C-alpha cells in the first residue's frame, strides 16, 4: 500500500486551512508564489544529507507534521512531491496526499489564490 494518495486541485482547495499543506520547492520558488497557507520544507536540503528520508522527516516534525498526521505535499509539477512522499513513507508517514499537478496546475486557474512571501516583495522593489 502506498503511503500517499493522489489528489487534485479541488481536493486541495477544500482542505486549505484544514490540513497541513507542504511545498517542497526551493525557497525562491516558494517565495514567488505558493498555495495559501503552505509551509516550505526544502526537499533539496534533505536530499543533500547523508540520510534524506530522516532529514526530511525531521523537517516535517519541526513544522509540527508527524507520521500519523495527514498532509498535502506538492512541488512545481509533482515529481519532487512524489520523491518527498516516498522518503517520508520510509520514515513511517502513511497519511499523505500527493497533489500530482502541483503548482503548475494550481496556477493554471486564475480563480485559485496564490500567496507571495515578503521576501519576493522585497526582491521586486
**Could you tell me the three cell numbers for 61?**
516534525
3-state helix/strand/coil string of the chain: CCCEEEECHHHHHHHCCCCCEEECCCHHHHHHCECCCCEECCHHHHHCCCCHHHHHHHHHHHCCCCCCCCEEEECCCCHHHHHHHHHHHCCCCCCEEEECCHHHHHHCCCCCCCECCHHHHHHHC
The three grid cell numbers given for residue 60, joined into one nine-digit string: 516535517
* pLDDT digits 0-9 by tens, 75-107: 999 999 999 999 999 999 999 999 999 999 999
Domains and CATH numbers, the chain: 4-119 (3.40.250.10)
Q: What is the pTM of this model?
A: 0.92
Phi, psi of 24, rounded to the nearest 5 degrees: -100, 15
Interval 57-66: pLDDT, tens: 999 999 999 9
Amino acid at each position: 500500500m502506498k503511503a500517499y494518495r493522489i489528489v487534485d486541485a479541488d481536493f486541495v482547495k477544500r482542505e486549505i486551512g484544514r490540513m497541513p499543506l507542504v511545498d517542497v520547492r526551493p525557497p525562491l520558488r516558494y517565495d514567488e508564489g505558493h498555495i495559501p497557507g503552505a509551509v516550505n520544507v526544502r526537499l533539496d536540503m534533505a536530499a543533500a544529507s547523508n540520510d534524506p528520508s530522516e532529514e526530511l522527516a525531521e523537517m516535517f516534525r519541526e513544522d509540527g507534521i508527524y507520521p500519523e498526521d495527514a498532509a498535502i505535499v506538492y512541488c512545481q509539477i509533482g515529481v519532487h512531491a512524489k520523491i518527498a512522499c516516498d522518503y517520508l513513507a520510509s520514515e513511517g508517514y502513511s497519511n499523505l496526499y500527493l497533489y500530482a499537478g502541483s503548482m503548475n496546475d494550481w496556477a493554471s486557474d486564475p480563480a485559485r489564490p496564490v500567496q507571495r512571501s515578503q521576501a519576493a516583495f522585497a526582491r521586486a522593489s
